[in-house]
A = this chain, B = another copy of it.
Amino acid sequence: MLSIAAGRQIEEAFEKAGVRRTPQRFFVLEHLLTRPDHATVEDLWSALNRRHTRASRATVYNTLHALVGAGLVREFTLDGKAARYDANLDPHHHFVCNQCGAVEDVDWFDVPELPKNRAGQRRIRSFEVILRGECSRCR
């Protein structure tokens, strides 16, 4: 369950982002903040409709676009599947389970030898590491 403080935090986030507070938006951001499961639109849509809140797919898309535009959520895509959304804004890497497909955050670590030796003529702005294997539940 969500604490009052966390609820207030979400409202402030909306306010700061200049978007209206609606139940659908609240729930989407709450879901992304409380579960680091990198939900897809489909995940969010069905979670939303399992609870009291009704929401159409279009609203989930609209909400996510608003949140991404406001910098509250990041979008990323893995293996050509549907986009996933992540409210963890700290830099981090990702782990993908080969068995169940779960996506988990991995604390940030630097790759020290990288920018110095491997850039060549390119300018490297960012990088991420994608790890694959079996998650703790699937091993």
Contacts and interface: CB of A to CB of B under 8 A. Distances in A.
A109 B114 contact: yes
Number of copies: 2
A90 interface: no
Given A109-B113, A118-B107, A129 B132 contact: no
Interface stretch (A2-10, A26-34, A119-127): A119-127
27 contacts: A77-B78, A80-B81, A80-B83, A95-B124, A104-B122, A106-B118, A109-B111, A109-B113, A120-B136, A121-B136, A122-B134, A122-B135, A122-B136, A122-B139, A123-B133, A123-B134, A123-B139, A126-B131, A126-B132, A127-B129, A127-B130, A127-B131, A128-B129, A128-B130, A129-B129, A129-B130, A130-B130
